[in-house]
A = this chain, B = another copy of it.
């Protein structure tokens, strides 16, 4: 699947592009099952809520579950990424956030690339993120909020706060924009939050300013975020690399599958 020129321009102008219902309901169901299965695999890649055993996030499921390994190579996803970035990309980071009902605190307004430059020594913002809705996303369940076009000015701030919460852990609060910086950007560009049915996919820039509100609804909301990086832009990590489940080591260029990912799974397991 190739994006129209108009869509490529839209991505570069706004910093994001939404493709509604790119995956169908059956595919979403299979991804949810795969996620549930992956939540049973113990390890440091599994982040649970402090006050319960509920899973808050899982990293690198594409290394353990064939559905996700297929999805990141599916031509409907990988094709647009290659068009928007370059032919030779790999998955730099993969996570699924389960924003719990009545919670999943808000994320401060930030730019992803600053985090990766600081933590991993990523030389340039040569990434494309995808957000795959595993549940319907509404205005009430903590959608990601973008400041459209805010990626075009590059990084708004250059380093983390002096009183950062932690040296190791990267908290969006530590790299968040100041109120004045955000007000300037919002005055100029406004705010928008892509919503849509489960199976929708949003492609977004590593430099777009974004945040998200808590989930006010009584139902959890699962969102898959994968970051593709240009294979010529490998992290330099002067202070040592973060764990493999956070920063993937396999930098072989991905090649698109010749069929939708569920079909290729069926072939393999038949």
Q: Which of B101, B179, B191, B218 contacts A140, CB < 8 Å?
A: B191
From 88 to 147 in chain A, residues with beta carbon under 8 angstroms from any chain B beta carbon are 101-102, 106, 109, 138-140, 145
Quick check: is A18 within 8 A (CB to CB) of the other chain?
Answer: no
Minimal beta-carbon separation of A195 from chain B (angstroms): 9
**Quick one: given A179-B102, A213-B216, are A193 and B139 in contact (CB under 8 Å)?**
yes
Contacts of A140 in B (CB 8 A): 145, 191, 193, 213
Q: Which of B186, B218, B219 contacts A217, CB < 8 Å?
A: B186
The interface size bin for chain A is 20 to 34
Instruction: Contact check, A216 vs B106: say whether CB atoms are below 8 A apart.
Output: yes
> How many copies of this kind of chain does the complex include?
2
From 145 to 189 in chain A, residues with beta carbon under 8 angstroms from any chain B beta carbon are 145, 179, 182-183, 186
By beta carbon, the residue of chain B nearest A147 is B218
From 191 to 223 in chain A, residues with beta carbon under 8 angstroms from any chain B beta carbon are 191, 193, 211-214, 216-219
Contacts of A101 in B (CB 8 A): 179, 183
Contacts of A186 in B (CB 8 A): 217-219
By beta carbon, the residue of chain B nearest A219 is B183
Minimal beta-carbon separation of A22 from chain B (angstroms): 23
Contacts of A213 in B (CB 8 A): 140, 213-214, 216
Assembled-state Cα–Cα distance A182/B140 (Å): 14
Which among A212, A213, A216 has the greatest number of chain B C-beta atoms within 10 A?
Answer: A216
By beta carbon, the residue of chain B nearest A216 is B213
Contacts of A211 in B (CB 8 A): 216
3 nearest CB pairs, A to B? A183-B218, A182-B218, A139-B139
